[in-house]
A and B are shown apart, each in its own frame.
Chain A
Amino acid sequence: MEKDMLEHGFSWNRRRFLSALSLGVGSVALGSLLMPDLFKNGSMADDDLVPGIPHFAPKAKRVIYLFQNGAPSQQELFDYKPKLREMRGIEIPDSVRGNQRLTGMTAHQASFPLVGSFVDFKQYGQSRAWVSDLMPYTAKIVDDLCFIKSMYTEAINHDPALTFLQTGAQVGNRPSMGAWLSYGLGNENKNLPNFTVLLSRGVGNGQGVYSKLWSNGFLDSVHQGVQFSKGEDPVLYLRDPEGMSRKERREMLDKLAELNHLSYQEMGDPEIAAKVQQYEMAYRMQTAVPDVMDLSKEPDDIVKLYGPDCLVPGTYAANCLLARKLSENGVRFVQLYHQGWDQHGNLPYEIEQQAKDTDQASAALVTDLKQRGLLDETLVIWGGEFGRTSYTQGRLTADNYGRDHHPRCFTIWMAGGGIKPGVVYGETDEFGYNIASNPVHVHDFQATVLHQLGLDHEKLIYKHLGRRYRLTDVSGTVVKDIIA
């Protein structure tokens, strides 16, 4: 018979199916028995990789990426530059600026006066890391964090820079980091999407987020990020219609799987099998998502830790708490985006608000994971898509200024997941404009993240229509110095 291969797969399943029936397992997920999940990973990539299995022993199992969308100013948060205050209003020396290309927003400026942080910095913890007064909670946990002050990127505008950090390329429909990890490591929890996305927005000048940032690109769509939103239906259309019980939904899906199975037998199209899987996943999500989204049972000490906002759905704090719960439940990659960090103008006011919205909950997340013994296996990342200029954008007044996009250096932090705690890695020059030591390119950063999850970034390859793709494109070196 022409479809004997598929038949072979099915006869195996049919046996299981029959035995399940004979055992009287009435509510067993029939669809998952009928359809093998061997199609899930699409084509096999490389000799070195069996999808779903790491290359070597991982330090981290999961990632929570607190993406600060819009690019927070390093000068006001973590990269302390007293020189900028001293030189306030003085033109940035040409020797420092070099030939840096400028965005459309400042390229027309006649003058580029330096401006220091309006807020003071202090040193904290054993690591003596500098943190500004805008981040009091983060200041308390510096010994759990690894600051990288020497991140740099190639893009100078939000869309390409975001896309670069998430997918390793500025343009093109490539898989996002979360999709790569889902592909490379498989699923720990069959009831929740492996890659989930949570959005929040601060009061600062915002830049949009686009669904392509959590795209599966050319990988199978099971690796696509799923957005969870606030409200009664955290995932759209999650709730069954009124009057339909869970048992009845199960019956419906079992009948549906039987019908789809017939069609699969006839047509042989793996998409049919994939469709059945998606229904099964949807069914499991219907229970698992409300469970995990329910913050009403969180004890007082947790609410206190994350701050009262954590009970307001859709806030950054609520999303941090949710991120912990999703991660704890095995979601491989939880991606938060917090909008509002694009301080081209009115920086002092806006950044203070942004910091207030995020500082406590970010720190709480690290502390919470640590107290649950999960920090070792969870890599937490905080950072934006690029940095901001040392000089002001727009008018410099006594109490106001702005900063434009700056690709040459920015600060991020990582915690847990086998990253050295209490470390400050890399330095910028006294102008906070150029990197003085240990530059970390976006691809280096990505290579390091993959490494912590047990994946060799040069071997996590997907060959798509004749070209080999990697998250790190064609470069990237693991930053060994920050690995515990």
Chain B
Amino acid sequence: MKRYIKLIGVTAFVGLMLYVTEACNNTAATYQGGKLPQTVSYNFDIRPILSDKCFACHGPDENKREGGLRLDTEEAAYAALKENPNAFPVVPGKPEASHVFLRITTADSSLLMPPPASHLKLSPYEIQLIEKWIRQGARYEKHWAFIPPVKTEVPEVKDQDWPQNEIDYFILQKMEDNNLSPNKEADKERLLKRLSLDLLGLPPTIEMMDEFLADDSPDAYEKMVDRLLQLPAYGEKMALHWLDLARYADSHGYQDDGYRTQWPWRDWVIHAFNTNMPYDTFVTWQLAGDLLPEPTKEHLLATGFNRNHKITEEGGVIPEEYRFMYVADRTDLLGKGLLGITMECAQCHDHKYDPFSQKEYYQLYAFFNNIKEVGIESVIGGPETYAKKPLMEISNEDVQSILRFINKPDTNNLIVSIMGEPDTVRKTHVLIRGNYETFGEEVAPGTPASILPFDSSKYTPNRLGLAGWLFDKSNPLTSRVYTNILWQEFFGRGIVKTAGDFGMQGELPSHPALLDWLAADFMEHDWDIKRFVKQMVMTATYRQSAIVTKEKLATDPENIYLARGPRYRIHAEFIRDVVLASSGLLNTSIGGPSVKPYQPEGLWEGATSGRGLLSIYVQDHGEKLYRRGMYTLIKRTVPPPTMGIFDASNRDICEVTRLKTNTPLQALVMMNDPTVLEAARVLAASLLKEDSDQEEKIAKAFRRIVARKPTAKEVTILKDYYTSQLLSIDEQSAAKMLEVGEYPIDSSIEKKKLAAFMRVVATIYNMEETITKT
């Protein structure tokens, strides 16, 4: 009865329900809408079906295998059935003789596969695919991501006018295959906002908007791209994803969670992006700067990358247990962050899905095992504990010479944890069941053979050699993984959606040929990051309007085929930046020690052991209240609350993809966070002092915050709101309302007027579009 009533309630939206239902049946394998591919690919067409519907009982897991049959390897699938030596699961070229095919098509439900009790069912399309695959020879393939990328020809498309560069051909071809056509180019205001958020993490200024709107030249957009790429805020924007990947934070993590001064490393990352350091150099320095011939202090600082992990300060722990965890953390980061593989699965046993043995895990681990470090160096204490050995000191002379990019505000001693090796090499063993004290066979540094064997004639068996191996042109993963991460930053979704897992359990790429083309092109152009970024934002794909029609929402709700521009809520840090920048409060200085802006009381105090600099939240004042979001101090056990609410990483481990949730808590932040309210007050005050009428003031606030001119309707709504608030607010409430934040209140403005307009501005801050790349 209940069900019936609900269904009536939604009758008006049956159409929508239908297309939503249909949308979720579109798996990677069935998306083609019934059109069988000319050549059926094991990797893209067949393995997803087998993996999804067969491997659970007929896959690599011996313990779960039914009837002794496995279908995940060629040998087993071609071999005679255990139960019946005359029958074969798969006979290449002959579906009618293949028992797999017979069992998935039989009318006898007691024989039918998958068994009806499993609630799994093959669609007619899937059955046809399997049939065609067997007929074409039932060829198994190596996992796609382990084959080096090859730059294929740019595909043919019908609409020759649309593409701006090579990327667009790949995108358009997929669109055309799926009967989709691209959106028009976004209007200039929205395009500029998107670009500015993507390249700077900041909204465009009014001057930039005016200039761009006035520039009718055909290369107006490109000129803007080039200009933004040169601004120092570009380095800050680009650094953010790397800080997530490198699990950068300002505390040691674990129990007492004491303060650390790793921020000079963060300043270096910003500097590296701003100077457009090639990706191979960027990573090589971070992995092995200390092993370079005659390393400079900058090289050493870069290796802080591998010391950003959590380090215990808890007395009484077993040092070796923690040292093991640090080494494992670096190994896992290399896997997930740089190679896009879930290496950690092989810590205790051979990988369940991917062809990595436990031994290979420890061979990779061996690269990071030879560090002059201990599991616990000191318990929580003073400035001498802010970095752990090996460490470097940064003097004021350094900051005036080689490390000029470091924003060192005082003359205090400054130390940073970095990498460094002892004189004698520490032996590495396979650790049985991942246990740091049960040694198995001794292993030498090495890499998973299925990715690319470690050629010791070419590379020395240390981190520097590992960096060489990573950037070997035949390494199939490094370039794919990083271009995919950047793609995800700009388009909201990776070409491989699981940016940290390119293995068997990861998602298949939506545009495999494009990914390979990009990966190969990125390598060919010497890992030039700015070039790649420009290549992406110059595409017609990127420049499309984000308007979504019901048809597109139906066929492609996730915008996999990019037949519309990316539209996403921006990262937590950039929300703060938009608020501060548009209000005029933003402090644009770069780098330096992290800061402590407004935060609800008691959060640190409620979760502390009472020891150390970070046991009590001592809020900063003045200019430090208005730094960009990326400079907010991250105490790992109690990360900044507004950041977490908007899905920022807690920097516990390497993270390459942030969620994009939409929750009531986010609404509460935008409504009531003093940062937003103070910005609203300050912007309102500055506009009220301008010589303009109320509509102009509203329009200007709107432009600064939303980065476009408001429509007449929007102005009317906001003006009505202003008028009503001006009437309803009394002197006392107005005064209270204004008392938010530490920025001085402009006493020359009438309080009621200011409070009323502050509400208007706060409302604009709360618009969905404000914090959305649109």
Contact = CB atoms under 8 A, between A and B. Distances in A.
Interface of A: 2-6, 8-9, 12, 36, 38, 42-45, 50, 52-53, 101-102, 104-105, 107-108, 173, 193, 208, 211, 216, 221-222, 224, 226, 229-231, 233, 235-245, 248-249, 251-252, 255-256, 258-260, 262-263, 266-272, 274-276, 278-279, 281-282, 285-286, 314, 458-459, 461, 463, 465-468, 474
B27 A466 contact: yes
A108 B668 contact: no
Interface stretch (B104-112, B483-491, B626-634, B637-645): B637-645
A263 B551 CA distance: 19
A43 B663 CA distance: 18
Contacts of B738: 243
B21 A43 contact: yes
Interface string B12-47: 110111001101110111000000000000000000
Contacts of B732: 243
B711 A262 contact: yes
Given A38-B17, A268-B553, A269-B567, 9 more contacts: A50-B6, A52-B6, A107-B433, A193-B664, A240-B672, A263-B767, A268-B550, A276-B768, A465-B507
Contacts of B762: 252
B249 to A, nearest CB: 15
B671 interface: yes
Contact of A260 (B3, B663, B767): B767
A269 B546 contact: yes
B667 A281 contact: yes
Q: Which of B3, B20, B321, B663 has the most CB of A within 10 A?
A: B663
Contact of A6 (B17, B21, B550, B713): B550
B296 interface: no
12 contacts: A3-B550, A102-B433, A221-B662, A226-B663, A244-B759, A249-B671, A258-B717, A268-B547, A268-B553, A271-B567, A458-B119, A461-B119
Size class of the contact patch on chain B:
35 or more
Contacts of A285: 664, 668
Contacts, number: 227
Contact of A466 (B2, B52, B433): B52
Interface of B: 2-3, 6-7, 10, 12-13, 15-17, 20-21, 23-25, 27-29, 48, 52, 56, 119-120, 321, 324, 433-438, 497, 507, 546-551, 553, 557, 567, 569, 600-602, 606, 637, 641-642, 644-645, 650, 659, 661-669, 671-673, 677, 711, 713-714, 717-718, 720-721, 724-725, 728-729, 732-740, 755, 759, 762-763, 766-769, 772, 774
A235 B644 CA distance: 14
Contact of B553 (A45, A226, A235, A270): A270
B752 to A, nearest CB: 11
Given A255-B718, A270-B553, A466-B27, A107 B767 contact: no
Given A43-B557, A279-B667, A243 B734 contact: yes
B13 A38 contact: yes
Contacts of A251: 721, 724-725, 728
A9 B12 contact: yes
B3 A256 contact: no
Q: Which 8 A-B pairs have the closest CB atoms?
A: A243-B736, A466-B27, A243-B737, A43-B24, A5-B550, A221-B661, A282-B667, A243-B733
B763 A252 contact: yes
User: Per DSSP, are chain B's interface residues mostly helix, strand or loop, or mixed?
Assistant: helix
A36 B13 contact: yes
A26 B714 CA distance: 20
A333 B645 CA distance: 20
A304 B659 CA distance: 44
B644 to A, nearest CB: 7
Contact of B673 (A38, A237, A244, A463): A237
Contacts of A270: 553
Contact of A272 (B10, B435, B733, B768): B768
Contact of B13 (A9, A43, A221, A459): A9
B668 A236 contact: yes
Contacts of A231: 600-602, 606
B23 A216 contact: no
Contact of A282 (B21, B642, B664, B721): B664
Contacts of A36: 13
Contacts of B671: 237, 240, 249, 279, 282
A270 B768 CA distance: 11
Contacts of A258: 717
A241 B672 contact: yes
A235 B547 contact: no
Given A104-B435, A256-B767, A279-B667, A267 B774 contact: yes
Given A52-B6, A248-B728, A241 B667 contact: no
Given A237-B673, A252-B759, A256-B766, A244 B737 contact: yes
A233 B17 contact: no
B3 A259 contact: no
Contacts of B774: 267
Given A262-B711, A465-B507, A239 B672 contact: yes
A282 B670 CA distance: 11
Contacts of A252: 721, 759, 762-763, 766
* Among A101, A226, A245, A461: residue with most chain B CB under 10 A: A101
Contacts of A272: 768
Contacts of B677: 241
B435 A12 contact: no
A239 B600 CA distance: 11
A211 B737 CA distance: 33
Contacts of A2: 549-551
Given A240-B671, A271-B662, A104 B737 contact: no
A267 B13 contact: no
Contact of A237 (B3, B650, B669, B734): B669
B669 A260 contact: no
Nearest to A465: B507
A248 B668 contact: no
Contacts of B664: 193, 226, 278-279, 281-282, 285
A4 B725 CA distance: 36
Nearest to A6: B550
Nearest to A462: B24
A235 B28 contact: no
B20 A44 contact: yes
Given A226-B665, A235-B668, A256 B435 contact: no
A237 B711 contact: no
Nearest to A211: B644
Contacts of B569: 271
B417 to A, nearest CB: 23
Nearest to B436: A104
A263 B56 CA distance: 46
Contacts of B6: 50, 52-53
A69 to B, nearest CB: 15
B56 A474 contact: yes
Contact of B321 (A104, A216, A221): A104
A266 B661 CA distance: 22
Given A8-B12, A258-B717, A275-B768, A224 B550 contact: no
Nearest to B639: A211
